Amino acid sequence: MKQFTFFRLTALSLLMTLLLLRAQAQCTIAVNAFTNLSLPASCSYTLLPADLLASGWSCPGGVLVAEIQQGGVWVPANINASHIGQTLNARVRDQISGNFAWCQVKVEDKLPPVLSACTDLYYYCEDNCTAIPNPTISDCSAITINTTDNVFSYPCTSVYSRKVVRQYTVSDAWGNVATCTRSIYYYKRSLSSIVFPPSVTLQVSGTDCTPWCENTSARPAPTTTVSGFNTGSPTIDGSPIFQGVKSPTTCNTVCAADACALNVSYSDVVVPLCNTNRRVDRTWTVSSACSGTVTYLQRIWIFTDGNTSCGWACKRPTGQTQTYNAATGQTTFSWAVPTNTCIVRYDLEYRVKIAGVWQPWVSVSPGTNSYTTSIATGNSVEWRVRTRCNGSVVSTWTSVAFFIAGSLVGDESGAETVNRAEEDVDAFQSEVAAETLVFPNPSEGMIMVQLPRAAAGELALQVSDMQGRNVYNSALPQGTVSFELDLANQPKGLYLLQLLHENGEKVVKTLVLQ
């Protein structure tokens, strides 16, 4: 049984070999030696045996396929854009007999680029520097785009201000060329559509002066941005119309310059303020051949107060005093004007203690270094003041001063005429010596002096060190009941405070700075 099976298999193999030899003898494949292939618009193509076969081929019952050689290996004949310009080895092979014939195929790109979406466009004139999109372009090779523009102006009666006629010429790497033309229309705008930039404030703070402090005549241009600061420029619907801000170079090649048919310009006048503070008065002028001219004043404040390199510090006031006018029943708060400080106003706060209860703080903003108000006699009062400089810069508050309203003595012009006799002076001196309060003592430099009652005449204040050198001098007006003394810049040690009455009497207190 096994011998019979072996004999039958051997006979079958022999029969198949005979059939294959017969098929090979009957299959004759002939191809063209050289074929040019131009890729279609899809940029890919699969070669068919018919693309390569020449006349005289015959392969009855054969199964023919086309193949190309890539990296020494025969693979399916799938051609794409990466093969353009190459000459490929190709063949047609019968999958039954194995017979084949080979040839060469040159892959080419002979189709011009395909341009679409080249229709006309419509913009508002303020968008004249919006990048104009290219048409949709498809090609199997790398392309080069060239444009030519012709710009036309419309009369005042038209709804358009400008038109750009743009021709696109697109060439691929193999010399194929396609063109299309479109028109870009710009709608006209009136002067009433313009929104001018608001007035702005630039606060130069910290230590950076660039560029506004080194050059006191420096002024920011509309295109300048420093630490996020920009002065702005005229706009329509949020789009700039000043060409200095909106450069035509941002467009796809040439824009319709001044598509709104508006001429936009500005001029500046620099107005010096205190120290290096200044104001720029910027006048915008917009003119139209169709609708006239409009101007607008924009103000740009440049404040340097508080800048530690090129501006002045905003110093707090010193020398707090209170005076009382018996004729009017009014109390006047006053203080010394800080030097080397650009003062805009002051912030003053005071509160009154009525029936043992402190009332809410009262806030006022005087433009001078004094403030007068009516306070009922016998009430305790606390107050403080600070300096307000340019922009948002303010000084620190002074110490809180304290006095009792109504204990102040009126001046000689008041309803109560005071003729203080010698015994009154003696009484004043002894009372002051016993009851004058100096606090805190010891101190780090800021000292409050509280008199038992208001001075009936002018007092001279002197502070000297232990070597007898005067370190502080001031005159206190009639009516003074308390004042602040700033010795923070003096060395540590012992000092003598002297209050000198106009008749020569004096009171001495010892101060300790630590």
Task: Give tens-digit pLDDT for 90-132.
Answer: 999 999 999 999 999 999 999 999 999 999 999 998 888 888 8
pLDDT band, very low/low/confident/very high, at 289 (cuts 50, 70, 90): confident
**C-beta separation of 29 from 59 below 8 A:** yes
239 pLDDT above the threshold of 70: yes
What confidence score (pLDDT) does residue 9 get?
A: 47
Does the global pTM surpass 0.95? Answer: no
Region 346-370: mean pLDDT is: 93
Closest by CA position to 36, among listed 85, 80, 1: 85
Torsion over CA: 10, 11, 15, 21 (sign): positive
14 pLDDT above the threshold of 60: no
409 pLDDT above the threshold of 50: no
Q: Are strands 493-501 and 459-465 parallel, antiparallel or unpaired?
A: antiparallel
Region 399-427: mean pLDDT is: 49
What confidence score (pLDDT) does residue 416 get?
A: 30
18-32, 295-309, 377-391, 414-428: range with lowest mean pLDDT: 414-428
Helix (H) or strand (E) holding 161: strand 160-172
DSSP assigned state of 226? B
The CATH superfamily label for domain 318-404 reads Immunoglobulins (2.60.40.10)
**What is d(CA 425, CA 49) in angstroms, rounded to the nearest whole number?**
133
Domain spans of the chain, in order of start = 22-108, 318-404, 422-513
pLDDT band, very low/low/confident/very high, at 18 (cuts 50, 70, 90): very low
The residue type of 54 is A
Cα 24-27-28 angle, rounded to 5 deg: 120
The CATH number assigned to the domain with range 22-108 reads 2.60.40
The CATH number assigned to the domain with range 422-513 reads 2.60.40.3080
Neighbour count for residue 366 (Cβ, 10 Å): 15
Q: Which residue has the tokens 């009136």?
A: 190
What confidence score (pLDDT) does residue 502 get?
A: 60
500 pLDDT above the threshold of 70: yes
Closest by CA position to 232, among listed 158, 156, 165, 284: 284
Region 327-349: mean pLDDT is: 93
Helix (H, G, I), strand (E, B) or coil at 245: coil
